Structure 1
């Protein structure tokens, strides 16, 4: 597997440098120069070609949401993981709606940060389990059920729809493989295919779209 190129965007220099030094010890992570503001972040995103951006939500007087919007607009394949001291659920939901695939508190250890970066690079993500249910509820409630979602679901093969239902049920890749009698690699392939068909960038986005279109846990 190719090393994962990681761009840290954080204006807290001591924290960012300590995090970069710790993550640089991971053999599969390449840590790019740190960006402390929106302008630098956007410039590095263009020149350094990160696969994952680790983004703080507060950058001095600027908002990390501005970076998120611009990165997702200019570099739609880049995965954004929020790493912040903020605990505001409304901001978390906004970030996910605008394309973030992960949300971590700065109190979390570097081992978890590294795991979430790897998950993001593999088209996964991570939301704190204690707020995941409420985040999904707000995401689903925030947009009415629309025919577009149902139309996209109709493009899935029966097996892809089974995998998506397992995702809605909250199962991880190994659990999906066990339930459906498939290998983990086959589940990964089905997941990548269904995300592409739904034009989604993360499992959380796909689950939200599925629930808007009427899929429910345990169905």
Structure 2
């Protein structure tokens, strides 16, 4: 398996360099040169080919959300995880709507950051469990899509729909495998296939689409 290339975009040099050094001790992660502003971030994204970008929301006078927009426009395959000191739910919802696949607080440990980077690189995502339900509620309220979402769900095979239901239930890959009696690799394949069919980039986006289309957690 190829190592995951990680670009950290943060104007706090000491924090960013310390995090890059810590992630560099993980055998499967390769930190790229740190970017302190939007210009540098976009240049490195073009030349270094990161798999995952860890993006702060405040870059001096620049908005991280604007940088997110430009990254998603120019490099749609790059997975963006917001790493910030903010706990603003509105900003979290906006980030997800604009293509972020995860949100981490700077108070989290480097071990969790590494886990989320790995998950993002494999079409997963992560939001703080304490606010996940509220974020999904706001996403559903802001972007109703019952008909279009239902049509896309109809393209899934029965097994893919079962996997998606497990995702809506909040299960991780290992838990889905246990519930359905499948291997983790098979769950990964079904997840990748259903994301492709739905036109989604992350599990979080797929869950949001499914819930907007009427799918609900199992009782």
Kept after mapping to 1: 8 A contact 2:7/2:31: yes
Query: Are 2:92 and 1:98 equivalent residues in the alignment?
Result: no
Match in the other structure for 1:212: 212
Following TM superposition, by how much is the alpha carbon of 1:183 offset from its aligned partner in structure 2, in angstroms? Answer: 1.2
Match in the other structure for 2:189: 189
Could you report, residue by residue, the CA deviation over 1:82-129 in whole angstroms, capped at 9, with x for unpaired residues?
Answer: 110111110011001111111111111111111110110011111001
Match in the other structure for 2:125: 125
Gaps of 5+ in 1: none
Following TM superposition, by how much is the alpha carbon of 1:146 offset from its aligned partner in structure 2, in angstroms? Answer: 3.3
Query: Are 2:147 and 1:151 equivalent residues in the alignment?
Result: no
TM-score (norm 2): 0.98
Q: Give the secondary structure class of the aligned counterpart of 1:53.
A: strand
The CA RMSD over aligned residues, in Å, is 0.9
Following TM superposition, by how much is the alpha carbon of 1:177 offset from its aligned partner in structure 2, in angstroms? Answer: 1.2
Kept after mapping to 1: 8 A contact 2:6/2:54: yes
Could you report, residue by residue, the CA deviation over 1:18-74 in whole angstroms, capped at 9, with x for unpaired residues?
Answer: 111111111111111111111111111001000000000000000000111011111
Q: How many residues align?
A: 219
Query: Are 2:82 and 1:82 equivalent residues in the alignment?
Result: yes
Could you report, residue by residue, the CA deviation over 1:177-214 in whole angstroms, capped at 9, with x for unpaired residues?
Answer: 12111111111110000000001011110000001111
Match in the other structure for 1:16: 16
TM-score (norm 1): 0.98
Match in the other structure for 1:115: 115
Kept after mapping to 1: 8 A contact 2:146/2:214: no
Following TM superposition, by how much is the alpha carbon of 1:144 offset from its aligned partner in structure 2, in angstroms? Answer: 1.6
- Stretches (4+) displaced over 3 A: none
Kept after mapping to 2: 8 A contact 1:145/1:214: no
Query: Are 2:172 and 1:172 equivalent residues in the alignment?
Result: yes
Q: Give the secondary structure class of the aligned counterpart of 2:165.
A: helix
Kept after mapping to 1: 8 A contact 2:144/2:212: yes
Kept after mapping to 1: 8 A contact 2:8/2:35: yes
Match in the other structure for 2:138: 138
